[in-house]
Structure 1
Amino acid sequence: MEKNLLGTHVITQIGILVHDIEKTSQAYADFFGVANPGWSITGAVDVAETEYRGERSEARAKLAFFNMGSLQLELIEPDEHPSTWREYLDEHGEGPHHIAFGVEGMKDIVTTLARNEMPLLQKGEYTGGRYAYIDTLEPLKIIVELLERDKKK
């Protein structure tokens, strides 16, 4: 395996799958003594351009973000459509889904990871950037998410 595949080792986010985002986000807010951030829903497929395992997917999810200093906790409640979120929640239940890293040059990194037997699971766009989930379950025991922000003009 090649080394330093991402160009960074700074984890920016931990993603946690849940069945009930309202209940779980309130539990986190109470536990940490912080405001409940509420939740938002991911963009529809025509905006998010969501692809799962190489196929267009209608998948959406409710997301809640807790900014915890240098690390963000993301709670994810997926809908019923095919996605890495739905598959993982159905197979493993609630709990950690991914660790995320901010990257530059996502296309090249995705290609490098695929060459190293870590294929792309899901990708999509969001306001201000894009994401890609990589199948790193075998070597790392968790999925890796790449986050690439649009460059400021």
Structure 2
Amino acid sequence: MGNGLLGNNFITQIGILVHDIEAVSRKYADFFGIDKPNIITTDPFEIAQTENRGESTPARAKLAFINMGSLQLELIEPDEHPSTWREYLDAHGEGPHHIAFVIEGMKEKITLLEGRGMPLMQKGEYVGGRYAYVDTFNELKVLIELLENDK
């Protein structure tokens, strides 16, 4: 089982929660000597169809992506609506939120992980694909994000 449960053991992204994405993205840019990344806002509910713990939510977040070779840092500033981002930021403060893997077969992977006691926390759509956060914290000490891009 060389590629484990996900069929892929390549970490593509580390997500970091922040209170002030403008300030933190500027600090990362200064630290790495790069241009400050563009800040985008996640899609509205009509597109994202966001669900948190099985309930629809209008939650959105500001995002900034910093490409670091084969790994991407994602800065996340959530709004006030219910989301795994907001829950985690309120409970733990700023810092790492997830590690992400690009996968194929989102529904099957979620079912597989849930069958192993790793419940789906949040899912949604984005232009070109979908994401899901799975609570793997008890086992792996970090949340996992699954990313599935349309072909």
| TM-score, scaled relative to structure 1 | 0.96
Mapped contact 1:22–1:38 kept (Cα < 8 A) = no
Q: Could you give the per-residue CA deviations for residues 48-104 of structure 1, whole angstroms, max 9, x where no partner exists?
A: 000000000010000000011000000000000000000000000000000000000
- Residue 137 (structure 1) aligns with: 137
Across the aligned residues of Structure 1 and Structure 2, the Cα RMSD in angstroms comes to 0.8
Q: Which amino acid aligns with 2:10?
A: V
Query: Paired residue for 1:55?
Result: 55
In structure 2, stretches of 5+ residues that fail to align are none
- Tell me, in whole angstroms, the C-alpha distance in 1 between the residues paired with 2:4 and 2:116: 12
Determine the structure 2 residue equivalent to 1:33: 33
Q: What is the DSSP-based 3-state SS (H/G/I as helix, E as strand, rest coil) of the residue aligned with 1:11?
A: coil
Distance in 2 of aligned mates of 1:116 and 1:72: 28
Moved over 6 A (4+): none
Deviation at 1:46, TM superposition (A): 1.1
Query: Which position in structure 2 is the counterpart of 1:6?
Result: 6
Identity of aligned residues (%): 68
| Alpha-carbon distance, 1:38 to partner | 2.0
SS of residue in 2 equivalent to 1:30: helix
For this pair of structures, how many residues does the alignment match?
149
When normalised by structure 2's length, the TM-score is 0.97
1:64 partner SS: strand
Gaps of 5+ in 1: none
Map 1:95-134 onto structure 2 (within 5 A): 95-134=95-134
Output one character per residue of 1:114-141: Cα deviation in whole Å (capped at 9) or x when no partner: 0000010000000111000000010011
Residue 67 of structure 2 is aligned to residue 75 of structure 1: no
